[in-house]
Amino acid sequence: MIQLISYPLKNNWAALSARPQYDFEKLEKIVSQILNEVKKSGDAALQKFTLQFDGIHLNELKVSENEIKESGNLISGELRKSIALAKKNIERFHISQKESIRKVETSKGVTCWRKSVPIEKVGLYIPGGSAPLFSTLLMLGIPAKIAGCKEIIVCSPPDKNGNISPAILFCANLLGLKNIYKIGGVQAIAAMAFGTKSIPKVNKIFGPGNQFVTAAKMMIHKEGISIDLPAGPSELCVIADGTCIPSFVASDLLSQAEHGPDSQVILLSWDKLTIANIQAELKKQLLNLPRKNIALQSLKNSKAILFKNRDEAIEFSNKYAPEHLILVVKNADLIAKKISNAGSVFIGNFSPESAGDYASGTNHTLPTNGYAKSYSGVSLDSFNKKITFQKLSKSGLKNIAKAIETMAEAEGLIAHKNAVSIRIK
């Protein structure tokens, strides 16, 4: 089912950690053309690309207030309740990330502090297509509201009838978001990055997407527009031993494989029988999966790797740096302390990755493609800037004046030295 690799040598680990590759030169050429046309022609380009890629001509790009209000009537009561539960947990977790201002007297009479200030204008990209990710709007909209961002712009692709998923609109209404636009793909990223007559320019863009959206975000980042993180095709790594429940692990692997044909899942173990049992469960569960064909393509990019021992598996996982990591091993809590590179970690048989995707409270916008080695997932901090302050009394300046003057003079910056000297004379 998944390609099995037994006892790989360490000099092969880098190749085994590789993600599915694209022709980035070709990809960037396509993306660049769309970015430039939207930058030049604004709304007209947005309408052109929406017709070309989504098959619908839109006279009005913005979702009406009535469409937003009516959305709750188009989804089930059970879904409305589920979204409300997820909202409560996500809010609770992100509110806990608020920082209080702490003033520190670094020297007598010298006080320093730091304050979180919300980014004024943010853009949220919510994927649509075959699986409209309304949960992503909760994950991005909730911390944006808690942070206090003044203007929140939402873009999501329309269906063939020119509508955005009612579940996405219901989440927007629940969060009090009004500026929703029926634009998807690269053109949505371009609209928020450069601004058009209909869609305001923002200071930072958030949200996952396919390889085209990811490339667009990386390219506009080079032009000075801030982005959350490089979030491409989804991925999952599971470290499992004989204490795991094979059917649970198989369901977790398939939950990521069904995201898209370019998703990747990796199973790590030091127990042959565990891998065999999970492989058997994969075959069984795959038969009844509605997105079976997508999952099958994803599994071609995936691997089950048998190691000599637990420590090797952990070391490989830290080199792979997965977006999601599930630990279903003996003493999983202790093993979790050895994890240094991962977007989000799920501990034990009853912690499915789906919990983090929807309702446990953690954020599901996470670094992929090994970026977990240097990036964090989205959090409340992602929507804030940090500004530092300092206040010196006359005596406070005197206490550190000699050090400033000496250091400034050593760097040949005499005006810096004079800015202190003039005050203490």
- Residue span of the structural domain in which 415 resides: 393-424
134 and 191 in one domain? Answer: yes
Within 10 angstroms of residue 213's Cβ, the number of other Cβ atoms is 22
Q: Does 95 lie in the same domain as 190?
A: yes
- Catalytic residue of the set 37, 94, 259, 324: 324
What is the model's pLDDT at position 20?
Answer: 80
Among 170, 195, 227, where does a domain finish? 227
| 323: annotated active-site residue | yes
pLDDT by residue (tens digit) across 128-172? 876 789 999 999 999 999 999 999 999 999 999 999 999 999 999
Report yes or no on 252 lying in a domain. Answer: yes
With respect to residue 372, please indicate whether it lies within any of the assigned structural domains.
no
Contacts of 374 (CB under 8 A, 6+ apart): none
| Contacting residues for 364 by C-beta, under 8 A, at least 6 apart | 135, 136, 139, 344, 356, 357, 358, 377
Query: Integer distance in angstroms from the first to the last C-alpha of the chain?
Result: 79
pLDDT of amino acid 260: 86
Same domain for 274 and 397?
Answer: no
Tokens 């980035």 belong to residue: 24
Which portions of the chain are predicted below pLDDT 70?
130
Q: Tell me which of 227, 246, 281 is where a domain ends.
A: 227
CA distances 79 to 140, 290, 292, 362, Å, are: 19, 20, 24, 20
The answer to whether residue 38 sits within a structural domain is yes
Q: Select which of 37, 235, 258, 323 is catalytic.
A: 323
Q: What secondary structure does DSSP assign to 185-201, as a single string?
A: HHHHHHHHHH--SSS--
At residue 177, the pLDDT reads: 97
Do 255 and 194 lie in a common domain? no
For residue 206, tell me if it sits in a domain: yes
- 80 in the same domain as 39: yes
**Three-state secondary structure call for residue 6:** strand
Confirm whether 367 is domain-assigned: no
User: 165 and 247, same structural domain?
Assistant: no
Tell me which of 318, 337, 361 is where a domain ends.
361
Query: What's the confidence (pLDDT) of residue 1?
Result: 76
3-state secondary structure 289-356: CCCHHHHHHHHCCCEEEECCCHHHHHHHHHHHCCCEEEEECCCHHHHHCCCCCCCEEEECCCCCHHHH
Which pLDDT does position 45 carry in this prediction? Answer: 98
Please tell me whether residues 212 and 177 are part of one structural domain: yes
Residues 250 and 213 in one domain: no
Tokens 């309702």 belong to 359
CA distances from 301 to 236, 253, 266, 318, 371 (A): 12, 12, 9, 19, 18
The answer to whether residues 275 and 220 belong to one domain is no
Decide if 177 is inside a domain: yes
Same domain, 199 and 76: yes
CATH of residue 150: 3.40.50.1980
> Does one domain contain both 322 and 401?
no
pLDDT computed for residue 223 by the predictor:
87
Residue 315 forms part of a structural domain: yes
Residue 184 and residue 282 in one domain: no
Does 143 fall in a domain?
A: yes
The total of structural domains in the chain comes to 3
